[in-house]
Structure 1
Amino acid sequence: MTGWTADRIPDQHGRVAVVTGANSGLGLVTATELARHGAHVVLAVRNTAAGQDAARRIGGDVEVRELDLASLASVRAFAATLAADHPAIDLLVNNAGLVLLGPRRVTADGFELHLGTNMLGHFALTGLLLDALAAAPKPRVVSLSSITHKSAHLDFGDLMMERNYKPSPAYGRSKLATTLFGLELDRRLRATGSPIVSTLAHPGLTRTNLTPRAWEHKGRLGRAIATVGLLATQSVEQGTLPQLRAATDPAVVGGQFFGPAGLGETRGRVTEAKLSREAADPAVATRLWAAAQELTGVRYL
């Protein structure tokens, strides 16, 4: 397999990079590569014990900070202390995410858990760190999407899926919302002349711990389904390359979206990914942005 690899990441010395969900999977590999190339990496994790274990594995210049994206209070506290300690942040990788196939659950603020964690938490975090990002010389924000966004649809009459909850569509909606957010962030940054670049990526089908966890509620059968499903996936190292390129390639411009090139964007070398029609609709993005501001209380751009 040829194409863009992590060896093409430029020198990151002197740069501060924040990676959410950095203790495992895509986030761990992203943090590892950024640290390997010299960045000071902030591991933003819900479980600090797991974060400390990841820090020992990564080595390099890393620190661990607690962040629960399912709690706006946690997001605000994290952003306030981080910006105080790091007035200029060069890179924010909105990587953390969850997928659950059990009953409907909500965040500490009453949001449907997928949307609240995967999109709204990152929306609030990005807004609260915007000044620190703008203070860096070449700042960048990366939002992690999924190929599931292509089959998803946002119902603004029931954003929290209170009437007709189904877990798989809930996850897809959260990733459609994340994609819309990343693109709308790019449009708004451009309109204001901000130096911040907003990019997006998705990992295709990658072997992470999300799939086994999603099926845990089904017991032995669920674990068997997850094991069979993992056979069709690519390695986490390969799956991380789209977001690493979105985060570090000097040639990348705002609004670019990277994913795997092969088998319906499920695996393979890094290329520019395709958007669903709804994800590419600025009117939908504008409406979602307004809803996110109202729900989180974080208003920016």
Structure 2
Amino acid sequence: MASQKWIVSNMPDLSGKTIIVTGGNSGLGFEAVKAFVSKNADVIIACRSLDRGEKAKKEIIRFFPNAQITVMELDLSSIQSIYSFAAKFKKNFVRLDVLLNNAGIMMVPYGMTLDGFEQQLGTNHLGHFALTGLLLEFLRKTPGSRVVNVSSLAHKQGKIDFANLLYVGGKGYTPLKAYGQSKLANLLFTYELQRYFEKNNIDCKALVAHPGVSDTNLFVHIAPKWVMKLIRPVFKRLTQPASMGVLPELRASVDPEAKGSDFFGPDGKYETKGYPVLVRSNAASLDRESAAKLWEASEKLTGVIYN
């Protein structure tokens, strides 16, 4: 591939391309939207709050007055909301070049989605699984389309516990364990999705990225606010800004040399910081039996069947 110092200027012109960014109103998603519109893409900010989405749009338009941005409501913790989003998208758009499944929650206390799923798996994996399936017809008919999922270094500590996948009643739940499971699920889904595309001769690639350790609002649940305030200076030195953390997602989304199942992450020590390069996921993420089993469970839980 090209230079390891891959940055936004390496991105090709995206005129005529339609891109969805889930969670595009803040953090990594916000940076992704900025980068995409800087290269002339039409971008949909898909987020829970229309107000926050519109504020993000206004801020981006200050820098890019000609930006084509549409804000659409999407709550990934609600299957009904995902169906509603997909229906509205179908009415207003004719193609989908990149579906960037960026949104996520991290290490939150035990809770359930509106559909009764443990909320980290429900939001980070099941929501995006359903969304991708409902938009599949657009991915099929758009040549060279891509689905990019966002995992984490935490996948290395993840384990898919099919006997207790949803931590019913909070049994066995810890925030880190559930987060690791959801991020491992992102990888298993990506690799199984790529096999699905190949098996069905669909001109679409499934790729995955992780941002290293990036300074975003995902860290709000790691420690009490007063603790985070005390350690903020140290925390800043250990992390990279969102504008760097987003680069692996961007490269997976637009690098013309990227292939299906490619995994991008930072090139620095332990993959915590740096410029985006190809990285390797752990052995558990490559287990085809687990991937197939998770796919089957995801279809059953969400009711979204890939045809």
TM-score range, shorter chain: over 0.9
Q: Aligned partners of 1:226, 1:198: CA distance in 2, in Å?
A: 36
| Partner in structure 1 of residue 64 of structure 2 | none
Partner of 1:240 in structure 2? Answer: 246
Equivalent residue for 2:104? 97
Show structure 1 runs of 4+ deviating over 2 A.
Answer: 221-231
- Which residue is 1:299 aligned to? 305
> Normalising by structure 1, what TM-score?
0.96
Match of 2:47 in 1: 45
Whole-Å Cα distance in 1 between the matches of residues 217 and 225 of structure 2?
Answer: 16
Amino acid at match of 2:182: S
Shift of 1:167: 0.4
1:111-140 per-position Cα deviation (integer Å, ceiling 9, x unaligned): 000000000000000000000111212211
Mapped to 2, the partners of 1:225 and 1:191 lie a distance apart of 49
- Residue 83 of structure 1: which of 78, 82, 90 is its match? 90
> Aligned to 1:280, which of 258, 261, 286?
286
Structure 2 CA distance for aligned equivalents of residues 225 and 171 of structure 1: 23
After the TM superposition, which of the residue ranges 55-64 and 226-235 deviates more from structure 2?
Answer: 226-235
- Cα distance in 1 for partners of 2:52, 2:202 equals 35
| Selected match of 1:231 from 222, 237, 249 | 237
Any idea what SS the aligned residue of 2:277 has? strand
The separation in 2 between residues aligned to 1:74 and 1:215, in whole angstroms, is: 28
1-structure distance, mates of 2:284, 2:247: 25
Q: For 2:237 and 2:186, how far apart are their aligned partners in 1?
A: 27
**What SS does structure 1 have at the residue aligned with 2:292?**
helix
Q: For 1:216-244, what per-residue CA distance to the aligned partner results, in whole angstroms no more than 9, with x for missing partners?
A: 6x342354356643430011111111010
Equivalent in the alignment of 1:65? 72
Residue 5 of structure 1, aligned match among 7, 23, 30: 7
TM-align CA RMSD:
1.5
Q: Relative to 1, partners in 2 of residues 1:170 and 1:300: Cα closer, same or farther, differing over 3 Å?
A: same
Contact 2:4–2:277 at 8 Å: present in 1 too? no
Shift of 1:90: 1.0
1:299–1:225 distance in 2 versus 1, CA, 3 Å: farther
Structure 2 residue 221 is the aligned partner of structure 1 residue 214: yes
- The letter for the 1-side match of 2:21 is V
Q: Contact 1:31 / 1:43 at 8 angstroms: preserved in 2?
A: yes
Q: Give how far 1:215 is off.
A: 3.7
CA distance, structure 2, for counterparts of residue 89 and residue 288 of structure 1: 25
Corresponding position of 1:181: 189
Moved more, 201-210 or 132-141: 132-141
Structure 2 CA distance for partners of 1:153 and 1:227, relative to 1, 3 Å: farther
**Conserved 8 A contact 1:215-1:226:** no
Tell whether the 8 Å contact from 1:88 to 1:134 is kept in structure 2 after alignment.
no
3-state DSSP of counterpart to 1:137: coil
Percent sequence identity over aligned pairs: 40
SS of corresponding position for 2:45: strand
2:205 equivalent to 1:193: no
Q: Structure 2 vs 1, CA of residues 223 and 159 (structure 1 numbering), >3 Å: closer, same or farther?
A: farther
Aligned to 2:165: 159
Unaligned runs of 5+ in 1: none
CA contact (8 A) 2:211 2:265 kept: yes
Q: Following TM superposition, by how much is the alpha carbon of 1:175 offset from its aligned partner in structure 2, in angstroms?
A: 0.5
What runs of 5+ residues in structure 2 fail to find an aligned partner?
62-66
Amino acid at match of 2:15: H
Contact 2:97 2:146 in 1 (8 A): yes
| Matched AA of 2:42 | H
Q: Which moved more, 1:78-87 or 1:226-235?
A: 226-235
Query: Equivalent residue of 1:143, what SS?
Result: strand
Give the length in aligned residue pairs.
Answer: 298
Q: TM-score, normalised by structure 2?
A: 0.94
